[in-house]
Structure 1
Amino acid sequence: MSGYQVYNYHLYNKLEAVIEKMQTTSLESSTKRVESSTKRVVDCRLHYQILDRANLPSDFKLPEMEKFDGSGNPIVHLKVFIRTMALHQIREEAMIVLFPKYLSKSALNWFYHPDVETFTDFESIVKCFVDQFYFNIVADKLSMCSLECTKQNEDEKLIDFFDRWRKQVSLVVNRPDQSKLMKIFRGNMIYEWIFKDKTFSSFSDLISRVIRFENGCHSDNNLAL
């Protein structure tokens, strides 16, 4: 392994560690960092100095990667970006220059906003980026709370409720296993008291049997009241 490869290896490991630390930072301390940040004016000369040091070849091809539009998880985007750069052995100065190439919409507007600092190292990008989009991480946690609070309406067919509920499930990143999800779903049905002592092998089993009950098919012995 060459000296340059060793440097990159340590750089990527350092950045991964910074990201992990940022991920465990509480919302309160993150908010304080944002509030205490002073406004900085972009120094275009510094930007071009970094661009010059990046030393990208004229035939350089941008590695393929999904762009971050400001609505996703910033931690996930940073991890994918760093590992993509590591795969192509791209140096830190080039990473600073290339990072906005993988931003779009509100995220790109944030990066080039005149109140945002000119970044001189990638670690500062990591910290500011996570600070800016920290609430997206909180939204992942709120999705689970929303799921637990999504209940079937009195006049709502079970199949319609299930369709609405599973859309909420898709927003949960660290979702529980199927048995826990079934328990949450059953607790949110209007027929929960009828089926509290019943056993279901899967969601499809649960849905089909409850729909039969809902349609008045009480001949199913498993649904006897």
Structure 2
Amino acid sequence: MEVPRDFRPLSEAIEAENILRDHWVPQVEPFDGTQDPSQHLTNFRAQMLICGGSMEVRCKLFMGTLKKATLDWFSGLPNRSITDFDDFSRLFMAQFAANKRKPPITSDLFDLKQQREEPLKDFLQRFNEVALRVASLDERMAVIAFQKGLRSGGFDMALERANCRTMTKVRAFALSHIKTEEGQISKRAAEN
């Protein structure tokens, strides 16, 4: 397939590289400019570790993950300005850096609250998703934040009595409580 003359941001060497018909295409959500560019690039690189390919193939396949405004940005790059994947990555990150998400810090965990009808299992999962992204998580503060975020009730009081000092112990205690709760729900359903 001939590339239109007005659309040549890739170097001649990259354009000349053929992608084999049976080459595995990375399964990456297309990037439209509204997501975190760093996360998109990380996802793409992880997929490329699986499927392999030369630097030229990486450039071509990465181009295929762009859509909407990002594809417009790409098509507006100067002719032959992308000579390798590192160049492409730097240009991409520089252009979409404003969308990069700020990683959460421990104090952000205090903003998480269990909703009125939210099951403990869902709150624990939501809390863990944020906690995993916190660099240098302060375990004791995470435990306090989790406790403060809980709805008041039976589990809240039981957790306080258990005096868990690490999130590992909190998770184990919560999972035990969740398993018991789910068992009771199944038992009631079977009785009806």
Deviations 1:7-52, CA, capped at 9 Å, x for gaps: xxxxxxxxxxxxxxxxxxxxxxxxxxxxxxxxxxx95356483454
Q: Which amino acid aligns with 1:63?
A: W
Cα contact 1:150–1:188 (8 A) shared by 2 = yes
Is the counterpart of residue 169 in structure 1 residue 133 in structure 2?
A: no
Is the counterpart of residue 185 in structure 1 residue 146 in structure 2?
A: yes
**CA distance in structure 1 between the aligned counterparts of 2:105 and 2:96, rounded to whole angstroms:** 16
Same amino acid, percent of matched pairs = 11
**CA distance in structure 2 between the aligned counterparts of 1:46 and 1:136, rounded to whole angstroms:** 23
Is the counterpart of residue 76 in structure 1 residue 42 in structure 2?
A: yes
Please, which of 91, 95, 112 is the counterpart of residue 150 of structure 1? 112
Cα contact 1:67–1:104 (8 A) shared by 2 = no
**Cα offset, 1:110, TM superposition:** 0.4
**CA distance in structure 2 between the aligned counterparts of 1:79 and 1:166, rounded to whole angstroms:** 26
Q: Which amino acid aligns with 1:69?
A: P
**CA distance in structure 2 between the aligned counterparts of 1:134 and 1:193, rounded to whole angstroms:** 44
Cα contact 1:150–1:165 (8 A) shared by 2 = no
The TM-score, its normalising length taken from structure 2, stands at 0.54
Is the counterpart of residue 98 in structure 1 residue 61 in structure 2?
A: yes
**CA distance in structure 2 between the aligned counterparts of 1:52 and 1:189, rounded to whole angstroms:** 56
SS at match of 1:170: helix
**CA distance in structure 1 between the aligned counterparts of 2:97 and 2:9, rounded to whole angstroms:** 27
Cα contact 1:144–1:172 (8 A) shared by 2 = yes
**CA distance in structure 1 between the aligned counterparts of 2:113 and 2:66, rounded to whole angstroms:** 36
Is the counterpart of residue 128 in structure 1 residue 91 in structure 2?
A: yes
* TM-aligned CA distance change 1:167 to 1:116, over 3 Å: farther
Deviations 1:89-124, CA, capped at 9 Å, x for gaps: x2x3333223222x1545xx4034344445422222
Work out the number of aligned pairs and report it: 158
Cα contact 2:14–2:56 (8 A) shared by 1 = yes
**Cα offset, 1:203, TM superposition:** 3.1
Q: What is the aligned partner in structure 2 of residue 205 from structure 1?
A: 173
Cα contact 2:28–2:44 (8 A) shared by 1 = no
SS at match of 1:44: coil
**Cα offset, 1:185, TM superposition:** 0.8
**CA distance in structure 1 between the aligned counterparts of 2:13 and 2:61, rounded to whole angstroms:** 11
Cα contact 1:74–1:137 (8 A) shared by 2 = no
**Cα offset, 1:174, TM superposition:** 2.9
Cα contact 2:110–2:145 (8 A) shared by 1 = yes
* TM-aligned CA distance change 1:145 to 1:64, over 3 Å: farther
**CA distance in structure 2 between the aligned counterparts of 1:83 and 1:138, rounded to whole angstroms:** 24
Deviations 1:111-170, CA, capped at 9 Å, x for gaps: 34344445422222111222344355424x1486543311246xx36x536524533533
**Cα offset, 1:186, TM superposition:** 0.9
